[in-house]
A and B are shown apart, each in its own frame.
Chain A
């Protein structure tokens, strides 16, 4: 390195200016994929998967509770706690991860370097959403595996214990024993529980895209998180709000108007709680699951477009 500063006049003669680069595709799945996989890496390296450990602890602890209840009831309770906790983890993760990602990119100016590359803003938003959804899906599958292991082990234990005690008493026919065991199995691990996981995913996906929309104009992550959680709570009271305030004539016009506005603007999250019915052992209606999938896609598309509308003009 030279000790004295080099002035332009002393520098070596330069080459001719560089040639123009390649053309840029209008939309590139590759760029979306790059941003999505970087988001997954980011969330993984932020050690977010540690919460799976906490989840496993909750489920294993509940699985080993000494509840004074019949085996079928105990299995039902384990299932409810496990799937309920899974549902909370999914939507809470959707809010927090999404709310942290975009504002953090703005604060850290990482967004400048990304948008200064030939990346469209819709590609960035899609990539971020895709990354969050991928992590939620991976987490849900992992949580489901933990639940399934705990439920299956308890179920096997209960079935064999019940079988042995019924046979030992000598009072029951084969059919009666089978009836009792199938009652226990009906509360155990069934294929329909997979649909309950899908229901939680639908809910988390809608929560994530709503949070993305908020974060396109919110000033901070904290604001985004608080508003998202509030919307989530209000979004569960849609039907209740109508029956309390709209159906009763005693309420003022102002209150009724307010309820109507809230209903129109805030997503109806209550609909997405249909996993509870499945966990309780109700039969799954495939057509309804498809329709809920369609509704979820509708929310994703509309909220992404609205996010883009705000984000495309946003100045950093």
Chain B
């Protein structure tokens, strides 16, 4: 045995030792990797799509364990595209960024905001393009933003910020009240849910054709929670629904419609402060 040990070059024995160590550590490391990914400390490898779009240096950096650095560089680069209104380049950057750091909520929020709000707004006013093209691109950007929002939610299911940004696209750009209501509905109950989420859910449901009855019941349940919820918009939406659903007068709320103070049944002393601020 000893003579065999002396005959075989030490390097060969070392490589053999390396292999034994490799086989021994593989299951341990796989378990550790899974637990690190589960606890979000380690990011799973980027999707193949990200690699196809990355430049060689970004790819090397990513492979070299520098994902955060590459992502940050691309974020700065995206701001550059924002300032030159190069929306497609900006989106391409964010596709890589969100692949590299899918757990960073701010990337998703930024890209939805850039594409869904800024790019679409730019299409409304960019006179360099013919009207037809602007309209087409407007829709394209809005739908791209929605798709990004859905991908973001699938990556960070508990994210309120992504949903709020997505709801803004539906609400402000596509004027889709049903979809807006649906998104606000999914925010309810999430940790960090803003106080207005439930009211907004009700308001937009009220404007969604076919869901008026459901919206009336929901808004009334908020109304019954007390003064805290009885904001001008809530009163107004209930009033609208009372009219629309032909609610008998004895069941109608006592407050006046904030837009038509004289018309309501409530005494003048109950008049709410005018103007809608934060709903």
A and B touch in the complex (CB under 8 A): yes
Chain A residues packing against B (C-beta within 8 Å): 65, 67-70, 72-73, 76-77, 80-81, 83-85, 87-88, 91, 171, 203, 213, 217, 232-233, 236-237, 239-240, 243-244, 263-266, 268-274, 276-280, 282-285, 288, 291-292, 295, 298, 302, 305-306, 309-310, 312-313
15 A-B residue pairings within 8 Å (CB atoms): A68-B79, A68-B82, A72-B106, A80-B68, A80-B71, A80-B72, A81-B69, A264-B22, A265-B15, A266-B22, A268-B25, A270-B42, A273-B65, A306-B14, A313-B10
B26 within 8 A of A: yes
**Which B residues from 2 to 18 make CB contacts under 8 A with A?**
10-11, 13-15, 17-18
In the bound complex, do residue A274 and residue B110 qualify as a contact, i.e. CB atoms below 8 Å apart? no
Bitwise interface map of B from 98 to 110 toward A, beta carbon under 8 Å scored 1, else 0: 0001011010001
Q: How far apart are the CA atoms of A80 and B67 in the complex, in Å?
A: 10
B41 touching A232, Cβ below 8 Å: no
Minimum distance in angstroms from B270 CB to a CB of chain A: 24
Complex: A85 Cα to B17 Cα, angstroms: 34
Please measure, in the bound complex, the distance between the C-alpha atom of A268 and the C-alpha atom of B18, giving whole angstroms: 13
Is B35 engaged at the interface, CB distance under 8 Å to the other chain? Answer: yes
> Does B23 sit at the interface, judged by CB under 8 A?
yes
6 tightest CB-CB pairs across the interface, nearest first?
A264-B22, A277-B41, A84-B69, A240-B45, A274-B41, A80-B68
Question: A264-B23, A288-B36, A291-B32 are known contacts. Are A84 and B42 too (CB-CB below 8 A)?
Answer: no
**Contact indicator B19/A73 (Cβ below 8 Å):** no
Tell me whether B41 and A236 are in contact (CB under 8 A): no
- Structural contact, B26 and A264, CB atoms closer than 8 A: yes
Measured in the bound complex, the distance between the Cα atoms of B104 and A72 in whole Å is 12
B35 contacts A236, C-beta separation under 8 Å: no
B17 touching A285, Cβ below 8 Å: no
Q: Give the size of the chain B interface in residues (CB under 8 angstroms).
A: 49
B75 cross-chain contacts in A, Cβ below 8 A:
77
Q: What residues of A have a CB within 8 angstroms of the CB of B44 in the complex?
A: 239
The answer to whether the Cβ of B92 comes within 8 Å of any Cβ in the partner chain is: no
B214-234, CB < 8 A from A = none
B40 and A282 form a contact (CB under 8 A): yes
Let me know if B28 is at the binding interface, CB within 8 A: yes
Knowing A80-B68, A84-B72, A284-B41, the reply to whether A263 touches B22 (Cβ < 8 A) is: yes
Q: How far is the CB of A256 from chain B (nearest CB, A)?
A: 15
- Are B39 and A283 in contact (CB-based, < 8 A)? yes
Q: Which residue of A lies closest to B14 (CB)?
A: A306
Please indicate the chain A residues that have their CB under 8 angstroms from the CB of B23 in the complex. Answer: 264
Min CB distance, A315 to chain B, in Å?
Answer: 11
Besides the contacts A239-B44, A240-B45, what 13 more A-B pairs have beta carbons closer than 8 Å? Answer: A69-B79, A233-B63, A233-B64, A237-B63, A264-B18, A264-B26, A266-B22, A270-B33, A270-B42, A274-B36, A278-B41, A288-B35, A305-B17
Q: Is the interface of A mostly helix, strand, loop or mixed?
A: helix
Q: Which residues on the B side are within 8 Å of A213 (C-beta)?
A: 14
Residue pair A309, B13 in contact (C-beta under 8 Å): yes
Contacting residues, chain A, for B147 (C-beta < 8 A): none
Once the chains bind, are B110 and A73 in contact (CB under 8 Å)? yes
CB closest residue in chain A, given B109: A73
Residues in A with CB closer than 8 Å to B10 are 309-310, 312-313
A1 to chain B minimum Cβ distance, whole angstroms, is: 50
Residue of B nearest to A269 (CB): B65
Residues of chain B within 8 A of A68, CB atoms compared: 79, 82-83
Tell me how far the C-beta of B60 lies from the nearest C-beta in chain A, rounded to whole angstroms. 7
* Residue B43 at the chain A interface, CB threshold 8 Å: yes
Q: How far is the CB of B28 from chain A (nearest CB, A)?
A: 7
- Does the CB pair B17–A67 fall under 8 Å? no
Given the complex of chains A and B, what is the CA–CA distance between A252 and B33 in angstroms? Answer: 27
- CB-based nearest B residue for A314: B10
Chain B residues with CB under 8 A of A88: 66, 69
Residues 50-99 of B contacting A (Cβ, < 8 Å) = 60, 63-69, 71-72, 75-76, 79, 82-83
Specify which of B29, B35, B44 lies most central, judged by the most chain A CB atoms within 10 Å of its CB: B29
Smallest CB-CB separation from B39: which chain A residue?
A285
Distance in angstroms from B2 CB to nearest chain A CB is 13
> What is the bound-complex CA distance between A243 and B44, given in angstroms?
11
B132 in the interface (beta carbon within 8 A): no
Collect the chain B residues with CB atoms within 8 Å of residue A271's CB. 29, 32-33, 36, 42
B250 at the A/B interface (Cβ < 8 Å)? no
With A67-B79, A310-B14 known to touch, is A288 a contact of B32 (CB < 8 Å)? yes
- In the bound complex, what is the Cα–Cα distance between A265 and B11 (angstroms)? 13
Smallest beta-carbon distance B167→chain A, Å: 19
Q: Is the CB of A236 within 8 A of B65?
A: yes
From residue A38, how far is it (CB to closest CB) to chain B in Å? Answer: 27
B128 CB, nearest partner CB in chain A, Å = 23
Interchain CB contact under 8 A, B11 and A217 = yes
Nearest A residue (CB) for B104: A280
Name the interface residues of B158-216: CB closer than 8 Å to any CB of A.
Answer: none
Are A309 and B17 in contact, with the CB atoms below 8 A?
Answer: yes
